[in-house]
Structure formats: C-alpha cells, structure tokens
Chains A and B, each alone.
Chain A
C-alpha cells in the first residue's frame, strides 16, 4: 500500500509540474526567440556539465557540478564558471558545433564572457575529461541507492534467517528468485553460482537507472541507461566475461564451426570470419539495444512536451489545450517506458547470461528465450 501511495504522489507531482510550468516556460521561450525542438530534445537526452532543475535562461536553477580535467596537470573547477556555455574559464570553455558536449581549450587563457558572433580559436579538445557530469552524478546516486537497497536487504537475511521476507526484502526477493530460476540457472547450469553476482548486479543497475530516467525531477531525469558510454561499458564487461569464461569448445567452434560444409572454412575462412565478427556484434547489439530503447522513449516524451512549446508559441490558449493531450500521451508513454525499463533490463541480463552460458559450455538456451 505504501508503494501505491508513493507512486500516486509521484504521478500527481509529475502531472502538476508539467501542467503548471510547461506553458509558462513556453512563453518564456517565446520572449527569447523561436523554440527549436531538435536541440531542446537532444540537450535533454545527452549529458551536461550542470544539473538543470527548473527555469530558463538567467532565472534557471542549476546544480553546478565539478569539472575535472587532466590537461596540463589536474584542473578542477565548478561548471558554474561556464555560465551555460556563455563564458570561458582559464581558457576552458564548453565545446560548440562538432565539439558539443566536450570541453575545449581556447588558444588564449581567457576567463570571462564569450561574446556571441565572435570567433574563438580552439587549441584542442580536452581528452582526459573526467568531470562529474549530470550522468556521472546520477550514476553515483544510483550506485549509492543500489548498494543501500541490497546491503540492507542482505542485513535482513542475516538478522532474520529463514523467515518470511518483509519490507524491501519482499520487493527484491521475487525478482531475484525469478532471475535465478528463469534466467541465470537455465542459461548457465552448473556454472551459475560464479556469474550470479554479476548478472544480478547488472539487472538491478539497469533497472534502477531505467526507472530513475523516467522520473523527470531530481534525482531522476538523467538519461543514464540511454547513454551509449554506459551501455557500452556494460556490454564491454559482458564481452570480457564471455571471452574469459570461454572454454576450449567455444574457441574451437569459432575457428572450426561444426555442422558447416568444409568449403565455407577452406580456402576462404568465411565461417570463422563470421563467427569472429559475431563475438563483437553480440555485445555491440547489447549496447545499442539498451541505448536506443531508452533514448527513443525519452525522445518521444520530449517530443510531446515540445508540442506544448510549439503550439504555445502560436497562441497561449492553443498551448494550454495541446498540453492536456500531450500530458495524456506523456502518461501513456511513461507507462510504456515503465514496461520497457523492466523488459530492457531483463533482456540485457538474459542475453548476457546466454552468451556467457554458450561460452562456458552450457549449450542449452533457457526455456524463456525460445
């Protein structure tokens, strides 16, 4: 019952926020100039150096995040110094054009306002940029949240062994059991215990970040699992785990694929080539699938929100009337995204388990994958 209430409160807040602020923001945008949906959407699904909470332009509320650069020694300063890309600090500025999203070093160590229309020569793009961006911040929040959830659940198991689950334990346990019984154990067979921690961590990490991505206000709202770097790292870990757990049979099947006519292997090694490419396409697909699904959902939602702004520019009344439709579609998409959040976390974990299972000699795919 407590969860239901919480969900209801969140949904109400979302609705109220969207309904109250969107048309007004549209008017604010109107004052500043044409509203362009493209950059608006891209800005919201990509990373940024500050965490925008609300408001527009000078009145906006943004949490400044630290910039950390390894460029001529360690450089640490607040992202507030950039004034949303309108200022440079010690010659560092937010990139524009092709360098958008990265931090560039200008040719002279200039600190201060960047005039619009003036040309600034870029010396180089900062390669070792480990700034705590919005996504990194969201990553830390989710890491702390996940660690807290599962350590407290583990404590429950320790404190009340062999008892019925209670509280958070009851929320987590069915999911863990489902994953163990339907995904991990059928995919990995006797190898399951070795990979269970990784697969469970993977699932809950993706799931929690998917869900946090749906929440539009701080501390949610960062598109972490819709970021290709994050999905890429997860896929990379699965890739390495798969390769390192590959037994002799796995490599033999790649070099000399069984059940294939000989002329596909000799003199032209077509099958080995295909198999070798397959090693890399599998994690690549994992990376793209999660990234694309989550980002697409966000883009669609932002598209609906943009509609309010676009119509609001034509006439405020039109903006208000469209906002009702947009919010309804937003709620519908939100529900869909909720579903996608679970499905994508599940699919990523299932496929990782199957890939690892195939590599370590457990040929049988689980019932659920068929």
Chain B
C-alpha cells in the first residue's frame, strides 16, 4: 500500500521545489540557451547563405572572365584575318601595278624600237639616195667617156645596189 500511496510531504516539497526550479530555469537558463542556439543557427545559416552568394558571384565573375577571354580571342582572330586580307590585297595591288608598269615599259620600248627602226630606215634610204647621187656623180665625172665602160659600170652598181 505504501508504494502507491502518495505522501503529503513529498507532494508539498515537490510542488515547491519543482516550481522554484521551473521559475529559475525559465527565467535564467532556457531563454538564454534556446536563444543562444537559435542565434548560432542563424549565424551559421547566414554564413552559409553568404558563402553561397560569394560562390555565385565567383561563378559569375569566372563566366565573365571566360566571356572576355573568348571575346579577346575572337577579336584577335578577326584582326589577324583582316591583316592577312590587307596584306594579300596590298601584294595583289603591287603585283598588278608592277605588271601594268612593266607592260607600259614594254610598250614604250616597243614604240622606241619601232621609232628607231623607222629612223634607221629613213637614214638608210637617205644614204642610198646620197650614194646613188654620188655614184651618179662619179659616173658622170669618171666614166662618161667610154660608153661601154659606162654601161658596164652602171650594171655593176645597179647589181651592187640591188642588195637593198
């Protein structure tokens, strides 16, 4: 019976003791502990969020960096291509110009040659004419006395002159 019969004294002290304990802990211990835990949880969460944010930012930065690098590469390639194109153009132009100049020089040379040739022909013609006159003069002065000799001479000169 004693086992299941609650005693007055113990109930009395239990009410007082547990009441005081509850009061003390509820006032001085539990709020501090639960708030401490909550505040630390919050701090950890904040730091995790912050880390995630920084990570995202880093990712972003990295992406931008990559982008810039790619852009730079593309720019470089473009510039190189342009340069190559320009150099080829310049080369082509130079070649064309040189060709045309050479052509012009050749034309000029041809013209000059033709002109010189004409000039030489004229000179030769004049020379022949002068020679003919000279021959005629010599014939006149030297061989007019002998008729046969005259004719022989004339035929010889004509024969000689026939070379032209």
Contact = CB atoms under 8 A, between A and B. Distances in A.
A11 to B, nearest CB: 28
B29 A98 contact: no
Report whether over half of chain B's contact residues are helix, strand or loop; otherwise say mixed.
Answer: helix
B33 A157 contact: yes
A136 B18 CA distance: 11
Interface in A140-173: 140, 143, 146-147, 150-151, 153-154, 157-158, 161-163, 172-173
Contacts of B15: 233
14 contacts: A68-B9, A130-B13, A140-B17, A147-B24, A150-B30, A151-B29, A154-B33, A158-B36, A162-B39, A172-B33, A173-B33, A200-B30, A205-B18, A233-B11
A47 to B, nearest CB: 6
B43 A200 contact: no
A229 B10 contact: yes
Given A129-B8, A130-B8, A228-B4, 20 more contacts: A42-B3, A45-B3, A100-B1, A101-B5, A130-B12, A131-B9, A133-B9, A135-B10, A136-B9, A139-B10, A139-B13, A154-B30, A154-B36, A161-B36, A180-B37, A197-B30, A198-B22, A201-B30, A229-B14, A232-B11
B146 interface: no
A176 interface: yes
A335 B6 CA distance: 28
B17 A139 contact: yes
Contacts of A132: 13
Contacts of A88: none
A180 B7 contact: no
A133 B6 CA distance: 13
B6 A232 contact: yes
B37 A177 contact: yes
B145 interface: no
Majority DSSP secondary structure for residues of A touching B: helix
Contacts of A228: 3-6
A201 B10 contact: no
A256 interface: no
Given A100-B2, A150-B33, A176-B34, A128 B8 contact: yes
A295 interface: yes
A143 B39 contact: no
B20 A143 contact: yes
Contacts of B40: 161-163
B21 A205 contact: yes
A198 B35 CA distance: 16
A237 interface: yes
Given A130-B8, A161-B39, A228-B5, A201 B14 contact: no
Given A150-B33, A196-B30, A200-B30, A136 B13 contact: yes
A216 B66 CA distance: 72
B91 to A, nearest CB: 74
B102 interface: no
A360 interface: no
Contacts of A68: 9
A162 B43 CA distance: 7
Contacts of B35: 157
Contact of A229 (B6, B20, B33, B39): B6
Contacts of B1: 98, 100
B26 interface: yes
Nearest to A234: B18
A230 interface: yes
A176 B6 CA distance: 31
A227 interface: yes
Contacts of A233: 11, 14-15, 18
A143 B9 CA distance: 17
A46 interface: yes
In this complex, the member of B1, B30, B40 whose beta carbon has the largest number of chain A beta carbons within 10 angstroms is B30
A243 interface: no
B29 A154 contact: yes
A146 B22 CA distance: 10
A78 interface: no
Nearest to A158: B32
A241 to B, nearest CB: 11
Across the A-B interface, give the 7 residue pairs with the lowest CB-CB distance, nearest first: A157-B36, A229-B6, A197-B26, A154-B32, A229-B10, A150-B29, A101-B2
A198 B26 contact: yes
A313 B102 CA distance: 141
A161 B41 CA distance: 11
A113 interface: no
A124 interface: no
B70 interface: no
